[in-house]
Amino acid sequence: MKRLLILLAMVVCANAGAQKFEGLGATPQMGWNSWNTFACNINEQLIRDTADAMVKLGLKDAGYEYVNIDDCWHGTRDKDGVIRPNAERFPSGIKALADYVHSKGLKLGIYSDVGATTCGGHPGSRGHEYQDAITYASWGIDYVKYDWCDSKGLSAVGAYTTMRDAIRSAGRPMMFSMCEWGESKPWEWAVDVGHSWRTTGDIYPCWDCEFNHGSWSQFGVLRILDKQAGLRKFAGPGHWNDMDMLEVGNGMSEDEDRAHFAIWAMMASPLIMGNDLRSMPEATRRILVNKDAIAISQDKLGVQAWKYMDGAKLEYWAKPLAGGDWAVMVLNRGEQAATVSYDWKKHVIGDDLSKREADFKKIVYNWTEIWSGKSGDTSKKLESKLAPHSVLLLRLKVRG
Ligand code: GLA
């Protein structure tokens, strides 16, 4: 009996260490975030209107779920240290906003930071982690983005694990989105800490540029893509490499926007829209709700793409999908139009990570190109013209 009790005590103790909420982020999270377009210029009406737009414009039906408030929602802490929202921008309070967003069938996300101050200079969670997590839970928050400003002297492992434990002990399932910019290689240690981790500094709406601010830089789509080399093995259901929020609709060309969206889908990065949904052109909306591109992102297998062939002008990327399907993306990074003339039968796509193989000599796949709707099969060459800064995005299905 005594032995049994000791054993029982050991089991209880082993489980007492907090874990992140499991079952969240089984596929890369989808939603919207205020930062890329609005920065600090946010208020409760914007969040309400955005939630309305997500429903009205078919984004919710397409799978977008989280409405995320980024930096600058904060007011001050009260005398007990409890964080309050900025009373001018959020006069009804965050709980009322969460109720509204929930009434639309959506979820509400919020932002904080490991340091005493956020990147925008507002109160961060340092020393208030448990208190903040309880406050968020009491408001009905579903998602916490946790930034890395003012982090001097902090261990990333310690700071993010503390917030994970705080969220877990607050008792409300909240997705934990780590925004540590890849500085301490979170992919190596955060699988049980966050549901996703940023792999790079901030995105900028350009194809291939670096916007240097002196002590920090923002990066265009290709720059972020190139920083993902070697990371795919660390991603999977519940723990994703986050390439930052989308810039679709924020000033790039339509081809670039389509390519950007395709790349994020192939890489199983979270799809968090960053544009003004209230005034978005139909062409932008059509990219964001493309159900076949989203199906590649949200595929149950949860395996990130890799570049399997690097041609002189074109890159070929593959992503194994559930049920034996594949996604293949042909990327024209360059400034000139390029000709695709690809003989499937001369190639075998083999993936050590997922132990999947597509041998086109043995098996014929039917393909559909997701943006144009064109189709064909792998018994014939893939012939196409590809504009500069654009992609072909194919879904391959084994011929039945
Ligand atoms: C950092 C993050 C951004 C955004 C801003 C807010 O730069 O990486 O995504 O949250 O802070 O200040």
Tokens of 260: 């950007």
Residue 91 pLDDT > 50 = yes
Does 147 participate in catalysis according to the annotation? yes
Average pLDDT over residues 243-266: 98
Residue 16, pLDDT above cutoff 50: no
pLDDT of residue 2: 52
Q: Please tell me the predicted confidence (pLDDT) of residue 10.
A: 43
Cα(148) to centroid(ligand 1), Å: 9
What is the fold, at CATH topology level, of the domain defined by 24-297?
TIM Barrel (3.20.20)
The larger pLDDT score, comparing residue 12 to residue 166, is at: 166
Local confidence band at 17 (pLDDT 50, 70, 90 cut-offs): low
The pLDDT score that the predictor gives to residue 38 is: 98
Q: Is the minimum distance from the CB of 147 to ligand 1 under 6 angstroms? A: yes
pLDDT, position 400: 73
Same fold, 24-297 and 306-398: no
Select from 34, 42, 70 the residue to mutate for testing ligand 1; criterion: most ligand atoms less than 8 Å from CB: 70
User: What is the average per-residue pLDDT within 172-185?
Assistant: 98
Residues paired with 31 in a beta bridge? 66, 272
Q: Which whole number is the average pLDDT over 348-354?
A: 98
Nearest-10 crossing angle of helices 129-139, 93-103: 50
Q: Has residue 13 got a pLDDT over 50?
A: no
Could you identify the atom of ligand 1 that is nearest to the CA of residue 179? Answer: 8
Ligand 1 pocket member 71 (CB < 6 A): yes
Q: What is the pTM of this model?
A: 0.95
Which of 70, 142, 147, 257 is labelled catalytic?
147
pLDDT at 8 over 80: no
For 218, the 3-state DSSP assignment is: strand
- What residues does each domain of the chain span? 24-297, 306-398
> Phi and psi dihedrals of 379, rounded to 5?
-80, -20
CB 272 near ligand 1, within 6 Å: no
User: What integer is the mean pLDDT of 160-183?
Assistant: 98
The fold of the 306-398 domain, in CATH, is: Immunoglobulin-like (2.60.40)
- Alpha carbon 175 to its chain centroid, in Å, reads 12
Radius of gyration of the chain (CA): 22
Q: pLDDT tens across 284-314, in order?
A: 999 999 999 999 999 999 999 999 999 889 9
Q: Ligand 1, closest atom to CA 70?
A: 10
| Mean of the per-residue pLDDT values of the chain | 95
Instruction: Extract the tokens encoding 212.
Output: 């240097």
pLDDT value of residue 311: 85
Query: How far, in Å, is the centroid of ligand 1 from the Cα of 400?
Result: 47
The Cα 71–Cα 323 span in angstroms is 40
Q: Is 202 a catalytic residue?
A: yes
Reported as a single tens digit per residue, the pLDDT across 98-151 is 999 999 999 999 999 999 999 999 999 999 999 999 999 999 999 999 999 999
Ligand 1 centroid to 335 CA: how many Å?
31
Alpha helices per DSSP H over the chain: 2-16, 35-38, 44-56, 59-62, 93-103, 129-139, 156-170, 221-226, 254-266, 282-288, 291-297
**Whole-number percent of the chain with pLDDT over 90:** 94
Instruction: Note the pLDDT tens digit of each residue in 75-88.
Output: 999 999 999 999 99
> Rounded CA gap, 135 and 147, in Å?
18
Catalytic residue among 71, 132, 165, 202: 202
Q: Does residue 266 carry a pLDDT above 60?
A: yes
- Ligand 1 centre and the CA of 337: distance in Å? 35
Q: Would you state the pLDDT for residue 140?
A: 98
**Predicted local distance difference test score (pLDDT) of residue 3:** 54
Vertex 369, ends 196 and 396: CA angle to 5°? 75
